[in-house]
Amino acid sequence: MLVLFETAAGYAIFKVLDEKKLQEVDSLWKQFETPEKANKIVKLKHFEKFQDTTEALAAATALVEGKIGKSLKKVLKKVVAKEAHEQLAISDAKLGGVIKDKLNLSCVHNTAIAELMRGIRNQMESLITGLPPREISAMSLGLAHSLSRYKLKFSPDKVDTMIVQAISLLDDLDKELNNYIMRCREWYGWHFPEIGKIITDNLAYCKSVKKIGVRTNVATTDLSDILPEEVEGEVKTAAEISMGTEVSEEDIGNILHLCDQVIEISEYRAQLYDYLKNRMMAIAPNLTVMVGELVGARLIAHAGSLLNLAKHPASTVQILGAEKALFRALKTKRDTPKYGLIYHASLVGQTTPKNKGKISRMLAAKAALAIRYDALGEDTNTELGVESRAKLEVRLRHLEEKGIRRISGTGKAMAKTEKYQHKSEVKTYDPSGDSTLPSVSKKRKLEEAEEPTEVKVKKMKKERIPEAVEEEEEAAEEPPKKKKKKHEPAEEEEPAAVEEPSEKKKKKKKKAKEEEDE
């Protein structure tokens, strides 16, 4: 049996002298306690040394990916192919399958082989002759550095630490510039206060002050390369009637020095912004397309690195930067924030306040995918970011139009709009709230509801009695011919009396009174 053993210095092929020892897996480690015992178990047959670290790295990366490198293929054809009947012991089962397919060699991998490899590694210095220990350790260290750098896909253009530092410096420069410009305006305002309202741009203000110096020099100074003609005319007019105080040359010197500082910092800020823009396009191109350079850089800086940001879910990316508001909302049991740093993205900024929450949620979802593609993907194109942004813009347009599309031509006949019906609820005033008396019980309410019905029945009976008396009196006074009409069953008279309208009753009452008077 042959053993393929990989080292940082090269490939080693060992011949197993006593295969029976491999069956005793538990006691196999005892055979490698000393170099003498190890030499009785295995013997070095061939050693293929790597020429340099580049070749070692290529071989190591091939092994990691489960492929056969050029140097390994050469060794296997030279040594192992001559003894094709022998089995080849390997440490990686995946590599064994590849060797069997390409070179038609039988490979073995089990627990005994793993224990054998451990023993060989323990006594490697004595088994592999011609390699000093210092050289093996140096090769191992160099290969470890190269392999880890390869695994991390190390590239100077891919270092996101530069982005974190650049965006932090950009924010600091903005604060310092703001302070310097405010100080410059306030300081020079004592000498020439009118110029502050005329020139609103900070950089143009500092350049103008630097060129003017003392207020009396305005008339002879040409500001056409800094200011438009109209503004320049206003400055010269204001200088003639200025209310400012007189200052010494030393004061003006310090003010001009401050203006120099502002101009230099402004120029450096513009240069730093260009650097940040280029670096963002190199490291996170898709994220830059989605949210812009500044917002993308702030997200990376807030998370610590691009890889850390890629581990965050979309919901975290959405509210990244609003942690204080989030925990305050959770503590007070109110609505959580809808957006954090992503609020400053152009897509969120151009929406109406009503749709900002929806767009920020959708943008965070697409941005999370773009971040993972940038951090973990091998390609550096911006296809994903461009497609996602186009989809978001279509969705944004749909939300802004509220689903209404322009219809032209015959399409107008196809479109039918539903009739608008205004539904309004008329609420009546409830007077029950005005009463300060205690509420009435249900039993009492029921009793009060039943009493008026009884009173009504009694009233009806009382009304019927006088009507019957009047009819009897009329029947007594009238001749007998009229009595025949009145002599009808009592059952029919009562409903008729009830059904007669109030006007007839009044007429009968009037007739009865006239007859009584006669």
pTM above 0.95, yes or no: no
Both structure tokens of 166 = 């650049």
Structure tokens at 476: 């007594």
Distance CA 226, CA 430 (A): 73
Instruction: Tokens 């979802």: give the residue.
Output: 365
Burial status of residue 45 (CB atoms within 10 A of its CB: 0-12, 13-18, 19 or more) = middle
Q: pLDDT at position 502, please? A: 57
DSSP 435-469: --SPPPPHHHHHHHHHHHHHHHHHHHHHHHHHHHH
387-421 tens-digit pLDDT: 999 999 999 999 888 745 554 455 545 555 556 66
Asked if residue 160 lies in contact with residue 305, where contact means CB atoms within 8 angstroms, the answer is yes
The string of pLDDT tens digits covering residues 104-149 is 788 888 888 888 888 888 888 888 877 777 887 888 888 888 777 7
Instruction: Report the percent of the chain where pLDDT is more than 90.
Output: 35
Sheet hosting strand 10-16, strand order edge to edge: 42-49, 10-16, 2-6, 88-89, 107-108
Measured distance CA(119)–CA(116) in Å, rounded: 5
Distance CA 505, CA 501 (A): 7
Distance in angstroms (rounded) separating the CA atoms of residues 99 and 106: 8
Q: Report CA-CA distances (Å) from 63 to 45, 72, 268, 329.
A: 21, 10, 48, 53
Instruction: Spell out the residues 6+ positions from residue 167 whose beta carbon is closer than 8 angstroms to its own.
Output: 276, 294, 297, 298, 300, 301
